């Protein structure tokens, strides 16, 4: 039931002690503000890390050759490793049950790319049709490369959305147009986009067989890429990718007579392992943010408790008079608790509104390395405020209980 006199007393007490109340509320508001901002940046870091792993399929595994660094079976270190079609085909057959998509990749170097009289500075790569799913690419116009293109050594090309915008603008349909790659005409059959951003759309894809045969690539491969079937959960996906990586590493080292402990000869990048390291790190960072924020809030709650003790001390005589006039102990407790809860709630919601407003205003514009759009779940922040209010009530209860237990005669003698 709304008690007007009780609220008048609370506001009267606040007016008499403006600075004290302001400083107490400021400590509580700053605690919530700091916690929400820290949680927001924790989420921003998680968003940034997630974006770094978005450009390729989550379960992808990438392989490229290096140079041996150890002597093995009479072979000297310093041997460059060369991947070939036979290694790709054999590994694909050997690990077929563990592979969802696979593709070799050939970097066509030393070529010139022209459209009409215009020279284009884009890279040319030979890939297989399944590379679309490994790269997380999508077709925005036309089609991707297909099996017939690869089998027939077709002179067809796929360009990125960025190339379309830069070269063809909005005035010319790129489909069916001819690109000149080192004097050889290639017909554009499709336009692709990539979730990794514009940097990933600056490539021209041609069939891997065409890249090898037309541009004197023999049977050489620059790297190999695979994706693994979806797993039940993140931990299972990590375990699956590690097992696949180890099996592939063992086969390739045996095929090239490389020492088992030579880590430079065969390079295998497994994003799932990297993701696990980052997410484990993020868990520690978030825990630290929560710890700092909660400690700040506790400091504010302790401030509320201390202020309530001062209030009780200042109003000891008044409390004695109330009790002498028949006031029940719980009405005394309620009087003190109302003030503690009111100050805590107002300060808590002020800190929440300021922090959420700041994140909403600046968050979408923050995009630095590994930090993207800092934000925080409103329900989590609101729950934190209610927990703070409960903590404020608990902090005010002990001074209130002390006031309720004061002896009437002793209270009346208090100056």
Q: Is the pLDDT of residue 97 over 50?
A: yes
- Residue-wise pLDDT for 2-43, tens only, equals 566 667 766 777 777 777 778 777 888 888 888 888 888 888
Q: Let me know if 228 is exposed, middle or buried by CB neighbors in 10 A (0-12, 13-18, 19+).
A: buried
Number of H helices, E strands in the chain: 13, 16
391 vs 102, more confident: 102
Q: Is the pLDDT of residue 412 over 60?
A: no
Helices (H), 176-328: 208-214, 234-255, 271-314, 316-324
Q: Which residues pair with 120 in a beta bridge?
A: 113
Please state, in angstroms and rounded to a whole number, the distance separating the CA atoms of residues 222 and 157: 19
Q: Is the pLDDT of residue 225 over 90?
A: yes
Hey, is 141 helix, strand or coil?
Answer: strand
pLDDT at 240: 86
pLDDT at 50: 64
344 vs 406, more confident: 344
74 φψ region: left (φ > 0), alpha (ψ -120 to 50), beta (else): left
Hey, is 98 helix, strand or coil?
Answer: helix
- Residue-wise pLDDT for 262-271, tens only, equals 989 999 988 8
Q: Per-residue confidence at 258, pLDDT binned at 50, 70, 90?
A: very high
State how far Cα 343 lies from the chain centre: 36
pLDDT at 1: 44
SS3 labels along 7-21: HHHHHHHHHHCHHHH
Hey, is 94 helix, strand or coil?
Answer: helix
In sign, the C-alpha dihedral spanning 344, 347, 353, 356 is: negative
Please state, in angstroms and rounded to a whole number, the distance separating the CA atoms of residues 301 and 293: 12
175 vs 270, more confident: 175
Q: Per-residue confidence at 202, pLDDT binned at 50, 70, 90?
A: very high
Report yes or no: 294 and 35 within 8 Å, Cβ to Cβ. Answer: yes
Please state, in angstroms and rounded to a whole number, the distance separating the CA atoms of residues 335 and 406: 15
The string of DSSP codes covering 352-390 is HHHHHHHHHHHGGG-EETTEES----HHHHHHHHHHHHH
Gap between the terminal Cα atoms of the chain: 33
What average pLDDT does the segment 358-381 reach?
77
- Residue-wise pLDDT for 286-331, tens only, equals 788 888 878 877 777 777 777 777 766 666 666 666 666 666 766 7
In sign, the C-alpha dihedral spanning 318, 323, 325, 331 is: positive
297 vs 168, more confident: 168
Which DSSP category does 302 fall into?
H
What average pLDDT does the segment 171-193 reach?
93
18-52 vs 4-16: helix axis angle to the nearest 10? 90
């Amino acid at each position: 039931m709304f008690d007007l006199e009780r609220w008048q007393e609370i506001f009267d007490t606040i007016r008499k002690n403006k600075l004290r109340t302001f400083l107490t509320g400021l400590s509580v508001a700053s605690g919530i503000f700091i916690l929400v901002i820290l949680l927001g940046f924790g989420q921003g870091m998680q968003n940034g890390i997630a974006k770094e792993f978005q450009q390729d399929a989550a379960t992808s595994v990438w392989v490229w050759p290096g140079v041996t660094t150890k002597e093995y079976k009479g072979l000297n270190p310093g041997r460059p490793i060369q991947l070939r079609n036979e290694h790709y085909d054999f590994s694909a057959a050997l690990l077929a049950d563990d592979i969802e998509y696979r593709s070799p990749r050939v970097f066509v170097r030393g070529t010139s790319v022209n459209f009409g009289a215009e020279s284009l500075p884009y890279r040319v790569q030979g890939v297989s049709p399944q590379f679309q799913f490994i790269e997380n690419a999508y077709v925005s116009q036309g089609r991707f490369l297909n099996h017939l293109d690869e089998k027939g050594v077709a002179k067809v090309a796929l360009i990125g959305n960025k190339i379309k915008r830069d070269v063809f603008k909005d005035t010319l349909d790129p489909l069916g147009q001819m690109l000149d790659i080192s004097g050889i005409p290639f017909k554009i059959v499709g336009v692709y986009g990539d979730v990794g951003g514009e940097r990933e759309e600056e490539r021209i894809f041609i069939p891997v067989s065409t890249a090898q045969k037309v541009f004197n690539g023999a049977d050489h491969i620059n790297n190999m890429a695979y994706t693994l079937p979806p797993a039940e959960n993140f931990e299972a996906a990590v375990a699956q990718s590690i097992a696949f990586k180890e099996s592939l590493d063992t086969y390739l080292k045996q095929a090239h007579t490389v020492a088992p402990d030579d880590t430079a000869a065969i390079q295998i990048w497994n994003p799932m392992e990297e993701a696990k390291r980052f997410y484990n790190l993020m868990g520690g960072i978030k825990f630290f943010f929560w710890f700092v924020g909660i400690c700040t809030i506790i400091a504010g709650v302790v401030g509320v408790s201390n202020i309530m003790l001062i209030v009780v001390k200042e109003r000891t005589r008044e409390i004695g008079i109330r009790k002498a006039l028949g006031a029940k102990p719980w009405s005394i407790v309620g009087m003190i608790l109302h003030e503690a809860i009111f100050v805590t709630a107002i300060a808590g919601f002020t800190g929440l509104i300021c922090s959420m407003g700041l994140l909403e205003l600046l968050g979408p514009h923050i995009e630095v390395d590994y930090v993207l759009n800092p934000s925080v779940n409103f329900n989590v922040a609101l729950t934190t405020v209610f927990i703070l209010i409960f903590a404020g009530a608990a902090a005010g209860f002990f001074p209130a209980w002390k006031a309720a237990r004061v002896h009437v005669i002793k209270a009346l003698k208090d100056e």
